[in-house]
Structure 1
């Protein structure tokens, strides 16, 4: 962004509430007012309360759009932000968060809204004009090694943008799904709808000596969870998020639920859940259960506990997070067994470089591992 330097030599930037200097695209007259699109190179250049206010007013806003989640990605993972903010008469009215993320097994990057998590535009007002300005601005952010823009919508409500996005060059990409469980049905109904294997696991687990505790979001507790999480992910060959990301989540502690399970008095792993108050949903984002506690049914006990926790605290759904769409995949079958409904992860992609068609063609060779 354009910067100005004070007497101390430290740089500062224009904040929301005044016009940004790093403006892209063109103005659009709307009822006598101007819409502008601004590129924001750090979420810290925005006022937290004003950005979160936009998220809360948008019918598609979620915990993943919130200032705290974006800040954790930026500071904890080191991904480069390229957020687009729409202003009207100098005031922010909407936008679309973006980060530059590597395209696996290639030397190229993608501009993603949003990863990790789910994103897309949040535009509570002036929706049509704001969306137009946003998509016009995207190509200015895709330069050099960044060859594609990807939008990952949180749920099927983003289908309302499908025709608009496809008419602007975005193509649907469907290779992931999520299981969502209806908590409003009540705990007894949830148990009744589970597979016999999952239900039996819960029943057998309850016969053992176990305790599930809601932990405070402290550095020490997060470190213990992360050590187990890292060991589990190394065993299964999954992507390991560094502890710096977990530590950076502490400012949103009120939106996190950290559960620990102890079996026979010993630490047996846990789960870190993201509480999406905007969508009345609990997201199962991180789980860490060592293999030696599988026979104790630690996973089933934790999931059963968080279902009841969500019901008791007024949440409508439990979201198991993304998985492949392969019914033979073990993770897919495990999540399916809890009785949730499979819903597609809505992804749209728009190439921004002549190299993108080549990368897309090559992706078919390894698409189950593409993120």
Structure 2
């Protein structure tokens, strides 16, 4: 039904273009680009704003920060109807841990999925048909990671295209609609006690401008904290690139007894009414001052003041005995599912998928 021709998007770092024509009577054209800079920023973000499923992670600035700050190769699909841009499907090539293979993912870090504003059934078929052509011999699977559960409307189509939706993961959401007093009373008693004790310490907490200097100070605390827990440390270049969307950033700074004690970088998802607590930076030596509880309590209040409906703690895993799981749950967070679809592109994928399942089951 569809004919696909592509330039060398697998290896080129220049702008690559590929077209999928939906039959002779179709006005749709699907184009693959390997840099977000191939498109006008305003035009791209207008589609995000028009879409019912758009998120802050679909915005031009977030994608550019991933591309230029993390240097993940981009494989974005765009759908045009004559001269109108009617669909976006951002993707990046990311390595699969502990394997020599890569995955094509929408989006990492963050959440993605196709944004289609017109001719939706045909547009969805076009981008689904184009995906395998974006994968080379090392890119063996396409993954869609969606935090917006409204993407479930595409499940039947995706399953029919060979996607598997059996993968399960989740994150914690805190409902802010009832106001701060209700949020505070909804915390576990140990968390309420920790917040009260933290308030009695000699501290200052406020949000600050996400300038390069302030981000640099935050980054040192972030790197120290992530290294202490063997977490992923993103390079400073990524955070520096995020300054292009400074109106979507909430950078919190905490000082204890006159010394900088870390902070938090949250992301304003105005499209969905959510404040995402994405990057924590409170070194462990300040835990005795209940620094983490102070920062989270401040974030909840700021989110409520700015009119957000939810605070998103991020990943919750699947182990209720895990310390991070318990920490988020005790703040009153509710575990909600993420949506995942995976579509194998190579015969190697079933073997890698089986190995991943064994690793999750038995660990290292």
In the superposition, the TM-score normalised over structure 2's length comes to: 0.93
Per the alignment, residue 3 of structure 2 pairs with none
Segment drifting more, 71-80 vs 313-322: 313-322
CA distance in 2, matches of 1:154, 1:35: 28
Describe how 1:52-71 pairs up with structure 2 within 5 A.
52-71=45-64
Deviation at 1:36, TM superposition (A): 1.4
Residue 205 (structure 2) pairs with residue 209 (structure 1): no
Per the alignment, residue 139 of structure 2 pairs with 146
Q: Which blocks of at least 5 consecutive residues in structure 1 are unaligned?
A: 4-10, 14-20
CA distance in 1, matches of 2:329, 2:14: 50
CA distance in 2, matches of 1:91, 1:81: 22
Deviation at 1:12, TM superposition (A): 8.6
Per the alignment, residue 88 of structure 1 pairs with 81
CA distance in 2, matches of 1:313, 1:125: 32
State which of 110, 114, 117 in structure 2 corresponds to 1:121.
114
Deviation at 1:91, TM superposition (A): 2.4
Q: Deviations over 1:300-350 (max 9, x none)?
A: 111111111111111111111123111111111101111121111111100
CA distance in 1, matches of 2:35, 2:224: 32
Q: Secondary structure at the match of 1:163?
A: helix
Residue 148 (structure 2) pairs with residue 155 (structure 1): yes
State which of 84, 97, 113 in structure 1 corresponds to 2:90.
97
Q: Which runs of 4+ in 1 moved over 6 A?
A: none
Q: Secondary structure at the match of 2:27?
A: strand
State which of 287, 308, 318 in structure 2 corresponds to 1:315.
308
Residue 44 (structure 2) pairs with residue 75 (structure 1): no
Per the alignment, residue 197 of structure 1 pairs with 190
Deviation at 1:199, TM superposition (A): 1.2
Residue 188 (structure 2) pairs with residue 176 (structure 1): no
Q: Secondary structure at the match of 1:349?
A: strand
Per the alignment, residue 112 of structure 1 pairs with 105
CA distance in 2, matches of 1:356, 1:24: 26
**2:205–2:254 contact (8 Å) kept in structure 1:** yes
Per the alignment, residue 297 of structure 2 pairs with 304
Per the alignment, residue 25 of structure 1 pairs with 20
In the superposition, the TM-score normalised over structure 1's length comes to: 0.92
1:296 and 1:315, CA in 2 relative to 1: closer, same or farther beyond 3 A?
Answer: same
CA distance in 2, matches of 1:43, 1:160: 27
Q: Secondary structure at the match of 2:331?
A: coil
Deviation at 1:224, TM superposition (A): 0.8
Deviation at 1:73, TM superposition (A): 0.1
Q: Secondary structure at the match of 2:162?
A: coil
Q: Which blocks of at least 5 consecutive residues in structure 2 are unaligned?
A: 1-5
Aligned residues: 354
Per the alignment, residue 324 of structure 2 pairs with 331
**2:18–2:33 contact (8 Å) kept in structure 1:** no
